[in-house]
Amino acid sequence: MPRREILLVDDDVVLHALLQEYLTEHHYRIHTLLNGEEIDSFCQNSQPDLILLDIMLPGKDGLYWLEWIKKHHPHLPVMLLSAKKSADERLAGLEVGADDYLTKPFHPKELLIRLQKIIRNPAPPNNLIAIGDNRFDPLHEKLERDGTVIKLTTQENRLLEFFCQNAGQVLTRDAISHAMSGNEHLPLNRSIDMTINRLRKKLGDDAHDPQHLRTIWRKGYRLLINA
């Protein structure tokens, strides 16, 4: 089976060396660029399976190059990397067409899991996230299913987006509470369960046997997007 081709565009040479070693061990071939100016010539000679694109590049930033890539190579998946934790920056990247967004510093294994999911399950057009028969639009806080638009509250949207970013993984209530509030010491309460119950209804899940948002007894919850 041929190795998947990953293009890393980042001016951090230490990160180049780290990901070169780690991804090569996991049967990926990784190419590196220090800025976005060479993306065009690279893509003319080689078609990577995914681009890892840093936002804080010298010269034109990553959001500029993301827009360029989506214009000239609309089916090429792009994962943004950034040291900033700004929600506005993340939403701007998703709006332009990023397939995922990872905040630095990150564990290489998390990067591997995310890029495997993107390559295996490319995002549907218009930046929608497929969850079974549903199409999730985090930018406009809504679901679409069978031609019907289902509006989400801001809290529901934030929680579902967090689940999508960690699809297939068991998320504890502590992790969910931290993601929703930004405070890992916030006391747990029933609001998480109530929000999950509302999301299940909007996803068309059977309350007694949910296929998407599943409860993992004594551990937490897991979202299965291909159920």
pLDDT score, position 187? 46
Q: How far apart are CA 49 and CA 30, in angstroms?
A: 10
The DSSP output letter for 124 is P
Longest dimension (CA), the chain: 54
Q: Mind listing the pLDDT tens digit of every residue in the chain (227 residues)? A: 467 899 999 999 999 999 999 999 999 999 999 999 999 888 878 888 999 999 999 999 999 999 888 888 877 889 999 887 667 777 777 777 888 889 888 999 999 999 888 887 655 555 678 898 898 988 788 898 888 899 998 889 889 988 988 888 889 888 888 777 654 444 445 678 888 999 999 999 988 889 899 999 888 899 988 65
Q: Under a CB-based contact definition with an 8 Å cutoff, are residues 55 and 84 in contact?
A: yes
Helix spans in the chain (H): 13-25, 39-45, 62-72, 87-96, 108-120, 154-165, 173-181, 191-203
Residues found in the chain? 227
Domain 127-223 falls under CATH 3.90.260.10:
no
Q: Residue 147: helix, strand or coil by DSSP? A: coil
Structure tokens at 208: 């007694």
Q: Give the tokens for residue 83.
A: 């040291």
Write down the domain spans for the chain.
4-123, 127-223
Three-class HEC string of 10-60: CCCHHHHHHHHHHHHHCCEEEEEECCHHHHHHHHHHCCCCEEEEECCCCCC
Task: Name the CA radius of gyration of the chain, rounded.
Answer: 18
Q: What is the pLDDT of residue 151?
A: 92
Buried/exposed 56-78: b ≥16 CB within 10 Å, e otherwise: ebeeeebbebbeebbeebeebbb
Instruction: Look at the domain 4-123 and name its fold.
Output: Rossmann fold (3.40.50)
What is residue 177's three-state secondary structure?
Answer: helix
Q: What is the pLDDT of residue 184?
A: 42
What is the structure's pLDDT at 186? 43
